[in-house]
Chains A and B, each alone.
Chain A
Amino acid sequence: MDMSPTLTTCPLCGHRFSPDERGHCHGCPLVKGCGTTCCPACGYVDVDPQRTAIGRWFAARRRRPGSRPMRWQGGDGARVTLADVPAGCLARIVAIEGAPSSRRQQLRAYGLLAGDWVRVVQHVPVTVAVVEHTELALETDLARCILVDAFEPWVPPSAQPRR
């Protein structure tokens, strides 16, 4: 399964590139916060759905449980974060990347450690995860910094995250 939205395909030349690459945008005063992608190979400019409110809304609907597998064992090289884990699943943490050092340490202090399982309760309005016996509300941007390498459905009433 391709859970990683990191690469996009140019509709004109078929080149695969990261939406953050800005081939022909140097010097443009509007580059910050620009809602488009620009193919570094051919310069074709397209609207990036992930940078529009409507696109994100539809993507969030698609990510709902039921429309996405509830079990994933990793190994396919996809970058999956806690924000991608369907609500109601247990996920195994593999690393915390991208967050400031102080936040990383706080997250670890709460027990979000590599190899540990946490339960994802919800993603809207913010991500809520159960760590040990603590419910932790995390902004989605922060949940995207927590990488997981497997997830599976959580079955009540055995409420304890497996370690």
Chain B
Amino acid sequence: MNCHGETEGVASAGGSIALVGNSNVGKSVVFHRLTGRYVNVSNYPGTTVEIARGSAPFLPESVVIDTPGLLMLPANSEDERITADLLLRDPFRAVVQVGDAKNLRRTLLLTLQLAEMELPLVLALNMMDEAEAHGLHLQTETLSQALGIPVIPTVAVQRRGIDRLEQAIAEARASRYRLTYPAEVEAELAPLAEGMPDSPISARALALLWLAGDQAAGDWLGQRMEASVLDGLAARRDRLAMALGESPADVIQRARWAAVNQIAEATIQETEATRSLGQRLGDLATHRVWGPAILGVVVFGLYEFVGVFGAQTLVRWMEAGLFGKVVNPWLTDWLTRWIPIPLVVDALVGPYGLWTMGLTYALALILPIVSTFFLAFGLMEDSGYLPRLAVLSHRLFRIMGLNGKAVLPMVLGLGCVTTATLTTRILETRRERLLAVLLLALAIPCSAQLGVVMGMLGAVSFQATLVWLAVVAAVLICVGWLAARLVPGERSSLMLELPPLRLPVAANVLVKTAARLEWYLKEVVPLFLLGSLLVFVLDQTGLLSRMARLTEPLVTGWLGLPAEASLAFLLGFLRRDFGATGLFALQSRGLLSASQTLVAMVTITLFIPCIAAVMMIARQHGWRTTAAIVAVVFPLAFLVGGLLRILLQATGWT
């Protein structure tokens, strides 16, 4: 313990342990080290958008809570507000602030705020190795004395300092560090603090949050105070702003910075450091000439690994080889011999059988594609390349009423649209989140579907792939442009931290890929089985052919596809990759021409991703918005598909 003299506080009691800190400082890695529970870890700000909980073996009956990154209070984005809300609602046994050692001043700005809350606090200065590589030597003992809290240097990815951190958490005490603000603020603070309701944080800290205009604190107080009292508080804040001639938040922040600079000056010793290869590469990745060139190499690598190796080589090996020649014939033979009821055999291994359709689609067609994609994507995430992509794509997203930050959920959407929908929380305004969700639902194919599309179009021609890409991109941009003009509100300007480029840790990438694959199988296999069963029942009852006839004007007439394609589109309502796989099977049987393949792929790409994604959108934006999105997406998908068919016919494509 490093508490000394006047700053020594009171012992903590009860509650759980919260991990808080700026974005991308390694909170989730520390969480994993403390609890043994794995949560998704990446090298870009905003990986954690929800709270994760895990038990702490070093403190029986305690729970560790991982929170989304928080730059400072007042909180600005939705994920930041989650953390702010948590601090206001839950009493904590201890709060562990995880800070980036090489950005000490920014870390300390938050430390002072947490210290003012009088919560039992421990500061874990993480990534000490990177700080040293930058020529920074930090006097943690001096820092500890200045703040009156334990300061533990850590390198969480290497497990360095974790034992000391666990010990410090067990003994955590509230800091009594108290910052004095300008006289006008102090004069207003004291009476405000007295009138504050009981809360897990100190009344003074709550009053400061109110004066700084923190929305989470405002909501919290709104639930506990009468409107007239709250109006009185607002009037006091306005009066203070008048007296100061500027926003109280600015004055408060300036006072904190003065204190931070004073502490940092006594703590940091700097020596000269040479620039690492990662730093140089990082600069090149956002360069106006080299940036796009590097992006081209990355996309080409992704295409070769996922589109060629995964979607063609591995799928051929799995579908035609393992399943087509070995597993399926053997199983059909075995079942026919031992089960005397043809209906049951058909349900399992018939043309629409649970095994021959459901599991073969999921395991032989989709699994190799998503495995290669998740692996490649994990490498990209951990290298720190994704935020650089935000810089490169910023101008494109401006057209769609967003800023470059929106590329993060979009690229995540190439993995899985459902999780990407959740990641839109990192965007700052509700309008931006809504626009991003609409574009995700409409035109971002998930990895499973992308792989099928690449495989099918690759079999047609490279030109076809380019036409598909151009049509989907044009729809994305046009709809984005239009929606940006129809949805009221302003675009927020881009401000994004670019983490250093790092060599991905193989173990983390593998664990992440495996975890995502498990999650994928759990979500996809039941739906694929359900879909197969549904189709089997429809087929047996004769409803399938009737439905196909019913949808004939749309599928055959408008899209110009064979009647059998109706089935694929019906499956597409369950999951669009399931539908795409159905189309893949049609193409394998030689039922689709080049232009039909293209029209079918464009239409199914523009479908709503899956039931899970619909649920997630409803959770985030409510059922009315979700219904509106669905009502826009499906007709638009068919409209674009039909128009493309007419265009292809006019230009002589067959």
Contact = CB atoms under 8 A, between A and B. Distances in A.
Interface in A102-156: 102-111, 113, 121-122, 124-126, 128, 132-139, 141-142, 156
Interface string B492-517: 11111111100000000000000000
B390 A106 contact: no
Contacts of A110: 71, 106, 495, 497
Contacts of B391: 125-126, 128, 137
A137 B395 contact: no
Given A125-B395, A132-B103, A103 B495 contact: yes
Nearest to B274: A157
A101 interface: yes
* The 7 residue pairs across chains A and B that have the minimum distance between CB atoms: A135-B498, A139-B494, A109-B72, A139-B493, A133-B102, A124-B288, A142-B493
A13 interface: no
B288 A136 contact: no
A67 interface: no
B287 A122 contact: yes
Given A105-B253, A137-B498, A141-B493, A159 B275 contact: yes
A121 B290 CA distance: 14
A133 to B, nearest CB: 4
Contact of A137 (B104, B105, B279, B496): B496
Contacts of B394: 125-126, 137, 139
A101 B249 contact: yes
Contacts of A142: 493-495
B109 A109 contact: yes
A109 B106 contact: yes
Interface of B: 71-72, 74, 76, 102-106, 109, 131, 134-136, 213, 247, 249-250, 253-254, 257, 270, 272-275, 279, 282-283, 286-288, 291, 387, 390-392, 394-395, 403-404, 492-500
Nearest to B405: A137
B134 A133 contact: yes
A36 interface: no
B106 A128 contact: no
B270 A103 contact: no
Contacts of A8: none
Contact of A105 (B250, B274, B279, B283): B250
B495 A136 contact: yes
Contacts of B291: 125
A133 B275 contact: no
Nearest to B212: A105
26 contacts: A101-B213, A101-B250, A105-B74, A105-B249, A105-B250, A106-B495, A107-B495, A109-B71, A109-B106, A109-B109, A109-B253, A122-B283, A125-B286, A125-B288, A126-B394, A132-B103, A132-B104, A133-B131, A134-B498, A135-B282, A137-B391, A137-B495, A139-B493, A141-B493, A142-B494, A159-B279
A128 B286 CA distance: 9
Given A142-B493, A142-B494, A159-B273, 7 more contacts: A110-B497, A132-B105, A132-B106, A136-B497, A137-B387, A138-B494, A159-B279
A137 B388 CA distance: 9
B274 A138 contact: no
Contacts of A107: 495
A160 B71 contact: no
A33 to B, nearest CB: 13
B408 to A, nearest CB: 12
A26 B135 CA distance: 59
Contacts of A134: 103, 106, 497-498
Interface of A: 99, 101-111, 113, 121-122, 124-126, 128, 132-139, 141-142, 156-160
Contacts of B275: 156-157, 159
Contact of B272 (A99, A106, A128, A157): A157
Contacts of A132: 102-106
Contacts of B404: 126, 137
A126 B494 contact: yes
A105 B75 CA distance: 10
Contacts of A99: 493
Contacts of A124: 288
A137 B387 CA distance: 9
Given A109-B71, A122-B286, A157-B275, A128 B498 contact: yes
Contact of B288 (A108, A113, A122, A156): A122
B103 A133 contact: yes
B288 A106 contact: no
A104 B288 contact: no
Contacts of A105: 72, 74, 249-250, 253
Contacts of B249: 101, 105
B495 to A, nearest CB: 6
A108 B247 CA distance: 14
Residue from A99, A108, A121, A139 having most chain B Cβ neighbours under 10 A: A139
Given A109-B106, A126-B391, A160 B253 contact: no
B113 to A, nearest CB: 10
A20 B106 CA distance: 37
B271 to A, nearest CB: 9
Contacts of B213: 101
A108 B212 CA distance: 14
A109 B104 CA distance: 12
A53 to B, nearest CB: 12
B565 to A, nearest CB: 41
Nearest to B287: A122
Nearest to B279: A159
Nearest to B395: A125
Nearest to A133: B102
B283 A121 contact: yes
Contacts of A135: 282, 497-500
A106 B103 contact: no
A57 to B, nearest CB: 13
B497 A108 contact: no
Given A134-B497, A137-B498, A101 B288 contact: no
A111 B105 contact: yes
Contact of A113 (B136, B257, B395): B257
A101 B244 CA distance: 15
A159 B109 CA distance: 23
A92 to B, nearest CB: 15
A29 B253 CA distance: 42
Residue from A103, A121, A126 having most chain B Cβ neighbours under 10 A: A126
